[in-house]
Structure 1
Amino acid sequence: MERFVDGWNIVQTLGEGAFGEVKLLINEKTNDAVALKIVDLQRAGDAKDCVYKEERIHRMLHHPHIIKLLGKREESNVAYLFLEFASGGELFDKIEPDVGMHSGEAQKYMTQLLDGLEYLHRRGITHRDIKPENLLLDEENNLKISDFGMATIFRLKGRERQLDKRCGTLPYVAPEVLKGPYFAQPSDIWSCGIVFVAMLTGELPWNEPTTESPEFARWVKSTCITESLWKKLSTMAFSLARKILNPEPAKRLKLPEILGHTWMKVEFTLNEDVTDNVEQQCKRIALPRDTENKKEIPLLPSSQPTARVPYVDISSLTAVLTSNKNQISFSQPTQNDDLLLNSQISFTQSQLTQNQFKRLVKRMTRFTAKISQESTVLRVCKALDYFEYPWSIDPASIITVSTVDSGKLQLVFKISTIDMDDHVLVDFRLSKGCGIEFKRRFVKIKNSLTDIICRV
């Protein structure tokens, strides 16, 4: 944990982006929490303009399904955006790989997403990067749209313009965005359709919406109905997906039409919440697809692994952990005015309490181990070696894994271990790439370590 300003501590990294990171700030006295987006204005030539535009757009927005912007400050070449903290984590964390989630949950999140998007479009704003990683959940599991770094105004004083900037995340982007120019509203709706499919199937239908993708080509030709992904959808859900993911923007369903679709009006019975019990989720999920190797998940022995590409040799891991143990800490923030008024921004180390630890963002990509922190790190590294995932470890004992997903796209995630006296918290966090693919890797690694995991 680091001290940000007097009374406020940085206790967790929530995410990373093109220009910087998002951190969790906690107030020492009130235990309130705020998300802090730190942007390096020197990282790219247009970073300052992008932050200015993001701030101006975000300040216009006030809606229950959109993350609130609380304020902004600049110090030398760094910009700080203070945002509402969504403690429920990211939507992708609710999506089980190859399984998805209960239809009732998906319907709830889809309704809230469309409600927030309808508000944005009514204000003449397009998001342009709708995906589960940018859809956050509050403590009551209500969805909130976040990250307006790619947002822009497409309608001003009643006049709408076409857009030509190619932006977004490839598996979620609409086909017309890659061709340009395009209209804003249908392209956002397309992205919502991909999120819809991901929530119900636990898969992405294609890596990119072009003829280079066989899956997308079959979708366009309507020859995909027998494929395993689409067979997971009910008749009604498939009908809605077809109408949202229409390759012709003019024929794509509009927001009111989606909300009026039969599937959106069904009263689903939540007999079972597939996101409640991580242990049962892992049992029902088939072995994840993996283009890197076809090995089955082993139960790895506790013998010391041989490192593949570490910054620190495996034999010195114990020394690294021991030397850094006293630096591991936590805590929480919210008197927002204090954050904005204090003129001195600095970072110093401070200690974390168990009470404050409870305020950390909820993640399903974590587990607790019943062996020592040093032994836990060694076992995790051995699992990474077995699955041939390139990894490195820094002096703070954070493991960075750099691999590729099933679409050969870069996938980077980080693993932190925190000594909590009677157990060790092992926390996995996505750094770059697809959240669903990241979850697949987490399940695979976790299943290989069942003998050291605490049973709750």
Structure 2
Amino acid sequence: MMNKGTKKLGKYEIGRTIGEGTFAKVKFAKNTDTGENVAIKVLAKTTILKHGMIDQIKREISIMKIVKHPYIVRLHEVLTGKTKIYIILEFVSGGELFDKIVHRVRLPENECRKYFQQLIDAVAHCHSKGVYHRDLKPENLLLDSSGNLKVSDFGLSALTLQGDRLLHTTCGTPNYVAPEVLGNEGYDGAAADVWSCGVILFVIMAGYLPFDEIDLPTLYKKISAAQFSCPFWFSPGAKSLIQKILDPNPKTRIQIEGIQKDPWFRKNYVPVKPREEEVNLDDVLAVFDDIEEQYVSKQPLVNEGGPLIMNAFEMITLSQGLNLSALFDRQQDYVKRQTRFVSRKPARVIISSVEAVAESMGLKVHTRHYKCYNPSESNGQTNLCFG
């Protein structure tokens, strides 16, 4: 019998809201067949369409089905209704590891080692499946009722082909991001995740960040030079391992295999081997096939929306392509002057408007390959590029 304030979704009895984000609500629910508590992430299809999130959400869900591990939040299944998508997740009741650090300032070394061992086990499993998390931080590490770690939030993760680990998207949380991620030559997803794990270990042992500045340029310089110092209460073994992990050179940075062999890491270490399970993505494909059909038919309407949503890293990457040196070296004076804007209007519509305005001003504009040229400019030409 259903309680007051709950509603039914197949075999799930949905109750109170336990979390709310920009694009989704998370509801507490119970599997009435097994009695198991679950969390249901509820996303509106209109929101997914409006913000062009189909590919991102499909990738996140697919990855979570691939990386089944005791120390990773489990995705049970995906259901769809007329207007909403329901992602059924393992219910993790212990809160975020971040909250534990806030309340206790720093954790005992043995406890930190246990969490770090579980984190490395989970990350190693992800890498074995070709998955790189790219946003590892205490806020994305949950604790279950037994105090075991659960890695969550694969929204920024990448799935690469076997043997091809070079990534190019600049993303993550600045304080936890490896220095090479902010470069423009690609980076190894495994090495970048290892760096983030090292920052997490430092934070839970020290109670504060190894790299923490109010402005991004100064923060980036410190990260690039690995300018940090371990507090006096770190044991020699912990200090040595952290220094090997927070190596700004990804080629010499210790790898997961090396971490697992480290004497400090191996103390009381009990590795967990996940049970191999067949991965079936049929439910994911079924859910998104329907939405993608709607997306194709409604795409012009989506383009009529407001300005594009951009995060900090997307804004950063607009500086000199993906070369960030112009942001961090204030002595440079050779940066080309550029004005950039984003629009949901198709390029051909914007170009037509530019040509019309130019004509009214008596200017001649030549358009080729989505570029507009004004050859009458004294310095040769003024260019408008769309892409």
**TMscore range, shorter length:** 0.5 to 0.7
Cα gap change, 1:267 to 1:151, in 2 (>3 Å): closer
User: Which residue, 4, 27, 33 being the options, matches 2:7?
Assistant: 4
Q: Which has the larger radius of gyration?
A: 2
Query: Closer, same or farther in 2 for the Cα pair 1:153/1:18, shift >3 Å?
Result: farther
Once the two structures are superposed, what CA deviation does each residue of 1:125-184 show, in whole Å capped at 9, x if it has no partner? 111111112112222111121122222212x2x331411112212211212212242111
For residues 211 and 27 of structure 1, the distance between their equivalents in structure 2, rounded to whole angstroms, comes to 46
Query: Which residue in 2 is equivalent to 1:199?
Result: 204
**Are residues 27 and 74 of structure 1, via their aligned partners in 2, closer, same or farther at CA, if it must alter by over 3 Å?**
closer
| Structure 1 residues 224 and 166: alpha-carbon distance in aligned structure 2, compared to 1, 3 A threshold | closer
| Structure 1: distance between partners of 2:73 and 2:58 | 17
Measured after TM superposition, the shift of residue 52 of structure 1 is 1.2
Q: How does 1:131-170 map to 2 (within 5 A)?
A: 131-154=137-160, 156=161, 158-170=162-174
Query: In the alignment, residue 54 of structure 1 is paired with which amino acid?
Result: E
8 Å Cα contact 2:15-2:28 kept in structure 1: yes
Instruction: Tell me, yes or no, if structure 1 residue 177 matches structure 2 residue 181.
Output: yes
* TM-score under structure 2 length normalisation: 0.61
Residue of structure 1 aligned with 2:98, choices 83, 86, 92: 92
Check conservation: 2:165, 2:190, Cα contact below 8 A.
Answer: no
Give the alignment's Cα RMSD to 1 decimal: 2.9
Q: Is the 8 A contact 2:77 2:89 kept in 1?
A: yes
After superposition, the C-alpha distances for 1:17-73 in whole angstroms (9 at most, x for unaligned) are 453232221357975310111224444533122111112222222221112111112
SS in 2 for 1:251: coil
Identical pairs, percent: 35
5 Å-filtered alignment, 1:50-449, equals 50-96=56-102, 99-154=105-160, 156=161, 158-180=162-184, 181-207=186-212, 212-213=217-218, 217=221, 224-225=228-229, 230-266=231-267
Match of 1:32 in 2: 36
Is contact 2:238-2:264 (8 Å) kept? yes
CA distance in 1, matches of 2:211, 2:226: 14
Distance in 2 separating the partners of 1:66 and 1:168: 19
**Other structure's SS at 2:87 match:** strand
Paired AA for residue 163 in structure 1? L
Give the CA deviation at 1:105: 0.9
Aligned equivalents of 1:80, 1:102: Cα separation in 2: 39
Within 1, Cα distance between the matches of 2:25 and 2:177? 23
Cα distance change, pair 223–195 in 1 and its aligned pair in 2 (3 A) = closer
Structure 1 gaps, min length 5: 269-339, 341-456
Tell me: higher relative CO, structure 1 or 2? Use CA pairs within 8 A at least 6 residues apart.
1
* Offset of residue 213 of structure 1: 2.7
Query: TM-score scaled by structure 1?
Result: 0.52
CA pair 83-211 structure 1, distance change in 2 beyond 3 A: closer
